[in-house]
Amino acid sequence: MKRNLYILLTLFAVLLAGCEHKDFCCRCLQADDVEVVFDWSRSPDADPASMKVYFFPEGGGEALVYEFADIHGGSIRLPAGNYRAVCVNSDTEFLHYEHTDRFDSIRACTGGGVSGQLPGTDGEEFRNAPDRIWTDRLETFTIGHSPDQRRVIFRPAPSVCRYTVEIRNVSNLGYLGSTGSLRGSLTGLSDGLLLGTGEPSGHPVTLPFEATHDGKSTITADFLTFGPPAGATGKHLLRIYVQLPDGKKVYYTFDVTDQVRHAPDPRNVHIVLDGLTLPKPLANGSGFRPTVDDWQEVEEQKDLLIACNTGTKESNQETGVPMNFRHALSQVVVKAKCPAGRYGQLLRHLRCVGIRLHRRLERRLHAQLHVRRGSRPVRQALGFSQHLLLARQRLPPALLRLCTPRE
């Protein structure tokens, strides 16, 4: 009697378990072994570490996600039905994915920016440059029981843009040495990519990037982007940030909108600028020192290049007339500093009475600052350094003369 009761209870429990997992069992019975293939013929140089595929049921519902350690593919169990799908390499460092429940909205996004408090974003948020990613998308296809319905082929292609920057004829580049630094940023770029359409999306952001130089006359940079957001009309401003060995920080702004928008290949944008004069560091590290976060903008660098030579048609018809251009302008900026809380006194008593430029071979410069501050010397009264001249082409400190008030 007890044995029969035990058998009945066991059968009842099995029936209950079968009812509880009915939906799960049905899905398992309907699932088929599906071979996923990644064909790299469109990206023969690609080298991702792993791949991920999102299958979106056409009738709605949660996406089915599979990850592959083998970048050539593998076998999965997938329920029969109609799907749309996207694939992307999953070994990225700076990207995350949002809206992963729909084919039309799944998006790869760049992470929060690490700007290091760089100035000049025009109200845009700093974001990291994206990683290199390869993607592909498949519109509606059917998973069924026939052999041709149990094989899915993706052909991933590069899905980010490569931007390169080249600034030629840079003066005073050698003064950066090993302790100076260069960085850059570009505004008006997208913060994400719609994997289902392949279009850049989101709002414009600013991407910072590292820059290098050859120690002579050229600055270069190479970084990845998603490109401008679809339909964007804003400007693309390129900024170069320079930190000199003496701690001085300056940055320059260039409007490169036309070069970005009209690039022959939007996937490979090459930005070229010609002419940039960096300031020279202060001698022996002395003089006025800005604070750590005190960036100074050279708002609009104007220059005049001149060249002169002679020639004749008979002598130069084949070889041309060589023209050796040189910079003919310098920008002079005079700055003053006084203890906190005494700027009102500075404004009342400080005035510049004139700057004289002498056109001699050594291009001497004399500056006179008259300060009415009792009988105390100017430098002592205002905490001045004798090196108040900050110029694009910095002149030697000995050529700057500060004069005490004359009665």
Residues 205 and 352 in one domain: no
68: in domain:
yes
pLDDT the model gives residue 355: 55
Residue 19 has pLDDT above 70, yes or no: no
* Residue 169 near residue 274, CB atoms below 8 Å: yes
* Residue 243 near residue 175, CB atoms below 8 Å: no
Residues 293 and 347 in one domain: no
CA dist 34 to 29, 78, 102, 147, 303, Å? Answer: 14, 6, 22, 9, 65
- The 10s digit of each residue's pLDDT in 75-94 is 999 999 999 999 999 999 88
Residues 238 and 194 in one domain: yes
Residue 65 has pLDDT above 50, yes or no: yes
Residues 286 and 333 in one domain: no
Question: Could you tell me what percent of the chain has a pLDDT over 70?
Answer: 66
pLDDT the model gives residue 80: 92
| 141 half-sphere exposure, CB direction, 13 A CA radius | 17
Residues 51 and 90 in one domain: yes
Residues 147 and 238 in one domain: yes
**Domain termination site, one of 266, 301, 336:** 301
pLDDT the model gives residue 328: 62
Q: What is the mean pLDDT of residues 120-132?
A: 84
Residues 278 and 397 in one domain: no
Residues 156 and 243 in one domain: yes
313: in domain:
no
pLDDT the model gives residue 234: 86
314: in domain:
no
Residues 62 and 208 in one domain: yes
CA dist 141 to 53, 103, 137, Å? Answer: 14, 13, 11
Return the bridge partners of 306, or none: 326
335: in domain:
yes
pLDDT the model gives residue 338: 62
Residue 394 has pLDDT above 70, yes or no: no
**Structural domain boundaries, residue 406:** 328-407
307: in domain:
no
* Residue 286 near residue 247, CB atoms below 8 Å: no
14: in domain:
yes
274: tokens are 């010609």
10: in domain:
yes
Q: What is the mean pLDDT of residues 224-235?
A: 89
Residues 85 and 172 in one domain: yes
- The 10s digit of each residue's pLDDT in 165-186 is 999 999 999 888 877 889 999 9
Structural domain count, the chain: 2
Over its C-alpha atoms, the chain yields an Rg (Å, rounded) of 33
310: in domain:
no
φ, ψ of residue 121 to 5 degrees: the values are: -100, -5
